[in-house]
Amino acid sequence: MARPLIVLGSLNMDLVIRAPRHPRPGETLVGSNFGMFPGGKGANQAVAVARLGQPVTMIGCVGRDAFGDALIATLQAAGVDTTGVARADAATGVALITLSAAGENTIVVAPGANGAVTPELVRMHEPLMAGAAALLLQLEVPLPAVETAIRLARGHGVPVILNPAPARPLPAELIAQVDYLIPNQHEAALLTGLPVHSPEEAQMAAEVLRRSGAGVVVLTLGEQGALVLADGEPVHVPAFPVEVVDTTAAGDAFVGAFAVALSEGRAPVEAATWGCAAGALACTVLGAQPSLPTRTAVLRLVTGDE
């Protein structure tokens, strides 16, 4: 049996409303089609991994409330091991998402119980990391927990995959411990101080991140695909064109697929191709976790088989 991936991260309930466009400050718009969807970058990435057939264990925290019950049940239904999901005396995290007619979103997150992911909680679940295929992290839980998890994973020889989202400055010593760094354009710009609007600018930002100590940099570029920079020349991986319905969780689909492909022995460029395929497919369905594609769908898009 394949070794499991370990995901440390957030669990949120996404409250989504459609609007013709994003409101301006002080403006009220009439929207439509309100829905509640399980989300949180950590949970999304765990489900993305499970949908692609890889064993995966989630470490995180929810509240002792109905949203927490629903999020744990959804993870378990998707095949995610929830051994590492704790309960806190705080409300489960919530994300308020406005989805425009163009499929673009704006998101405001109330972290709630995600703030209870502490270094102590991470250390409690250290045995889960021993023998894992990789540790997958984001930045929707407190940074001390992320730093602790990275140290423990490296102590067990487990590769570290960091999706530095949402964007925030990071200490150079943390970046230097990351084997695979997967920022999007906005996150890469914040980490490097450089504009990132094109593959050429992405290459310059990726080179800065490599000089900061990151192992392999995979910079996602939305509809422009992704740029992979390892030891050789940078490689631009094109996107798969699709009709966009909702971009929510497209980045999480990319990261999950990249991690699965990598754990199966594929090279970073091929893993990024899987990521682009999964991210594209996620854009064609409304909602975060409902949009995460199956292995069959990803392979069909990657190979071009109908």
Of the residues 14, 81, 246, 252, only one is catalytic, namely: 252
Among this protein's residues, is 252 annotated catalytic?
A: yes
Burial of 53 by CB count in 10 Å (0-12 exposed, 13-18 middle, 19+ buried)? Answer: middle
| Residues carrying an active site annotation | 252
